[in-house]
Amino acid sequence: MTLRVTLPDGSPLELDDGASVRDAAAAIGPRLAKAAIAGRVTAAADPDVTLLVDASAPLRDGDSIAIVTLKGDDPDAADIQRHTASHVMAQAIVRLFPGARYAIGPTIENGFYYDLQLPEPIAEADLARIEKEMAKIVSQNLPVERYELPVDEALAVFGAGEPGTGASGLPLGLDQQFKVELIEDLVTAAEATGDEVPTISVYRQGEFVDLCRGPHLPSTNKLGSGTFKLTSLAGAYWRGDEKNPMLTRVYGTAFPSKEELAAYLEALELARQRDHRRIGRDLDLFSFHEEGPGFPFFHPKGMRLWNAMVDFWRAEHVKAGYEEISTPVILRRELWERSGHWDNYKENMYFTQIDDQPYAVKPMNCPGGLLIYKSRRRSYRDLPLRMAELGRVHRHEMSGVLHGLFRVRYFTQDDAHIYCTPEQLEEEVLGVVRFMQHIYAAFGFADVKIELSTRPDKSIGSDEVWELAEGVLARVLEGESIDYVLNPGDGAFYGPKIDFHIRDVMGRTWQCGTIQVDFAMPERLDISYTGADNEEHRPVMIHRALLGSIERFMGILLEHYGGNLPTWLAPQQVLVLPIADRHAEYAASVMRAVRAAGAEASLTLHADVDDRGESVGKRIRDAQLQKVPYILVVGDREVEQGAVGVRERGEDKGARPLAEFIGDLVAEVRERRLPEAG
């Protein structure tokens, strides 16, 4: 008997009954058979569903099939390789540390990790040992085999029972309690929904057996030699719950070729050198302390940078027609229940009691802004109403995920809420999109990726309202000739949204801005406006953040520029160095002249004098390490000529008249000129 499958170009391929994806690849050609690692299969009976399957997976008559290889830029292939690498790493660790229990080992962007409970602590130095054992497993060319087990046998395989061999041929009594818990949860979930208890898929390579959905590489040698690297260690609670055991998380990465791995590791080293935590420490911008884990402490120079960002933000919002508001950090629990945050977000909130009443520290600004809207009657003549807030919010993040300014327990959202009529919605969204692009460009981010997310399965509101909102967002983007990625079903439950992802100099993307159309909150908090017909109407609410978080955006800026910030943002813009003590008075006068010119131009110019007893060369090197844009060296000639010796970002520009230098500096800061982000 034969079966027929269809290839991506539409051509048919006849195979023997029971043929696998690998057999299909072999029928096409020997080179493809050697390169095949998996397949994408679409069954004729269910053409809307395409499954990623192992190379050994059997095919059925009428299937459509595409062969997956590690060649090219296939994200599925990279994911399969990294997933197998995580299993190989776990196998190596269990070999080196007998008694280790393995929990979960997913892929992540550009890599993978595995959480394990180890019989003894390990350190970064142990990663080389683990890599060596991984290379041994690769060289052993162990087949990676899939098994489908009934629940009882799966529990016997991973449970703590007597060692032996199951009906499938797999070993029993592996004593992997995290896997047992996951299997039991699958059974509980099936029973709760009345579904049939599923079979349990597991994979085996040599003596290592793991619970997994797959797919995987056909054998360990397909992982390749020199194509993977373990990168770091961290702690992580089992299932992210601090009440559960703390596990050791081992991170790694893998690429199809040694060259791609080398390029990635080079980029990783560049990112390490540009780590905002390191720059923040070196430039004396901020710090973290055990007395407040996850709560950043900003130093004087850090506040200079903060204020430069915020001053620009405020000035631009005034131009764009926003009014700034401020709402309390602590509000009654009842408000959070009405807004829906209590049901959906209480695990991430902080609470307190005031006058025996329950209160919550705000995790978001929206409900407070709505109370301001409700503080008086609103007319259609008041709309659109644009209210912006630099609101300090607090969220209870697990200690294991805290990461510098990128993941903190308090941060400042540059929020805004726009209340408008349905007829005004398109114009307001267009204004925000253009405003976003303007703000990002001012900070040096011209490459912006945009995503449009539409109605999810669980949502509120009528079909007509959703169609209106989604249509508005799409028309705005298309009208501006903006390319965007459509994310069907990924919108908020209350409305569709546009997300903005900026790309930094290292090619990383950061989701910062968002525009969300909300029909739920106006309903929940019962806000309205009086229309021209003298009837009450429900406004449309736009949630909007530009930078997302001042703290996080500061970290992004520091890494994007490597600490060499644009002069208008630099916490120390000018440092004057007198060559000798006799030049100190002139140096001080230069500093005062720069500061005065800034004040006269309604700008803040940060100028200081370094008159330490160190050599000029040492002071120049120190200033360069502090990323000072302009170092002004003054000696006898400069005093006589009313000039300054200018070093701009490490490059000697020679002597210039002081007035001329100050005029150019004022123009550079006023125009917010940008240096190369390199």
Reported as a single tens digit per residue, the pLDDT across 549-558 is 999 999 999 9
**Check: CATH 3.40.140.10 for 574-670?**
no
Q: Where are the domains of the chain?
A: 2-69, 76-267, 299-325+365-391+414-556, 574-670
pLDDT tens digits, residue range 122-173? 999 999 999 999 999 999 999 999 999 999 999 999 999 889 999 999 999 9
Among the options 101, 229, 249, 543, which is catalytic? 543
Would you place residue 94 in the very low, low, confident or very high pLDDT band (cuts 50, 70, 90)?
A: very high
Specify whether the CB–CB gap between 608 and 574 falls below 8 A. Answer: yes
Specify whether the CB–CB gap between 176 and 244 falls below 8 A. Answer: no
| pLDDT exceeds cutoff 90 at 298 | yes
DSSP secondary structure of 420-433: E-GGGHHHHHHHHH
Amino acid making up residue 432? V
Would you place residue 568 in the very low, low, confident or very high pLDDT band (cuts 50, 70, 90)?
A: very high
Specify whether the CB–CB gap between 634 and 578 falls below 8 A. Answer: yes
User: Is residue 177 annotated as a catalytic residue, yes or no?
Assistant: no
Residues in CB range of 374: below 8 A, 6 or more apart: 525, 526, 527
CATH class assigned to 2-69: alpha beta
H-only helix segments in 384-462:
425-443
pLDDT of residue 340: 77
Among the options 249, 497, 606, 619, which is catalytic? 497
pLDDT of residue 457: 83
Among the options 91, 176, 205, 413, which is catalytic? 413
Plot region of 121 (φ>0 → left; ψ -120 to 50 → alpha; else → beta): beta
* % of the chain exceeding 90 in pLDDT: 81
Amino acid making up residue 574? V
Instruction: Write down the CATH number for the domain with range 76-267.
Output: 3.30.980.10
User: Is residue 395 annotated as a catalytic residue, yes or no?
Assistant: yes
Residues in CB range of 292: below 8 A, 6 or more apart: none
Mean pLDDT, residues 508-513: 91
Are β-strands 12-16 and 101-102 bridged in parallel, bridged antiparallel, or unpaired? Answer: unpaired
Output the average pLDDT for the chain: 93
pLDDT tens digits, residue range 169-197? 999 999 999 999 999 999 998 888 888 87
C-alpha 6/C-alpha 15 separation (Å) is: 11
Among the options 212, 366, 420, 512, which is catalytic? 366
| pLDDT exceeds cutoff 80 at 353 | yes
Quick one: fold of 299-325+365-391+414-556?
Answer: BirA Bifunctional Protein; domain 2 (3.30.930)
Would you place residue 344 in the very low, low, confident or very high pLDDT band (cuts 50, 70, 90)?
A: confident
Specify whether the CB–CB gap between 655 and 646 falls below 8 A. Answer: yes
Mean pLDDT, residues 265-272: 87
Are β-strands 643-648 and 630-634 bridged in parallel, bridged antiparallel, or unpaired? Answer: antiparallel
Q: Residue 41 phi/psi, 5° resolution? A: -120, 130
H/E run at residue 26: helix 21-28
Specify whether the CB–CB gap between 502 and 510 falls below 8 A. Answer: yes
Among the options 417, 544, 552, 647, which is catalytic? 417
C-alpha 582/C-alpha 584 separation (Å) is: 6
Tokens encoding 599: 């004040």
| pLDDT exceeds cutoff 80 at 1 | no
C-alpha 306/C-alpha 634 separation (Å) is: 30
Give the distance from CA 621 to its chain's centroid: 35
pLDDT of residue 545: 93
Task: For residue 472, give the nearest of 397, 399, 398, 421 by alpha carbon.
Answer: 421
Q: Say yes or no: do domains 76-267 and 574-670 share a fold.
A: no
C-alpha 542/C-alpha 594 separation (Å) is: 43
User: Is residue 413 annotated as a catalytic residue, yes or no?
Assistant: yes
Mean pLDDT, residues 526-553: 94
Task: For residue 606, give the nearest of 555, 579, 567, 634 by alpha carbon.
Answer: 567
Would you place residue 678 in the very low, low, confident or very high pLDDT band (cuts 50, 70, 90)?
A: low
Would you place residue 289 in the very low, low, confident or very high pLDDT band (cuts 50, 70, 90)?
A: very high
Residues 265, 271, 272, 273, Cα dihedral to 10°: 120
pLDDT of residue 677: 61
C-alpha 543/C-alpha 566 separation (Å) is: 30
Specify whether the CB–CB gap between 266 and 254 falls below 8 A. Answer: no
Would you place residue 646 in the very low, low, confident or very high pLDDT band (cuts 50, 70, 90)?
A: very high
Residue 399, SS3? helix
pLDDT of residue 2: 87
Among the options 415, 499, 518, 610, which is catalytic? 415
Q: Which residue reads 């997913």 in tokens?
A: 106
pLDDT tens digits, residue range 371-411? 999 999 999 999 999 999 999 999 988 877 788 999 999 99
User: Is residue 497 annotated as a catalytic residue, yes or no?
Assistant: yes
Q: Residue 496 phi/psi, 5° resolution? A: -75, 170
pLDDT of residue 48: 87
Mean pLDDT, residues 268-282: 91
Q: Residue 169 phi/psi, 5° resolution? A: 95, 0
| pLDDT exceeds cutoff 70 at 430 | yes
| pLDDT exceeds cutoff 80 at 338 | yes
Among the options 229, 378, 395, 627, which is catalytic? 395
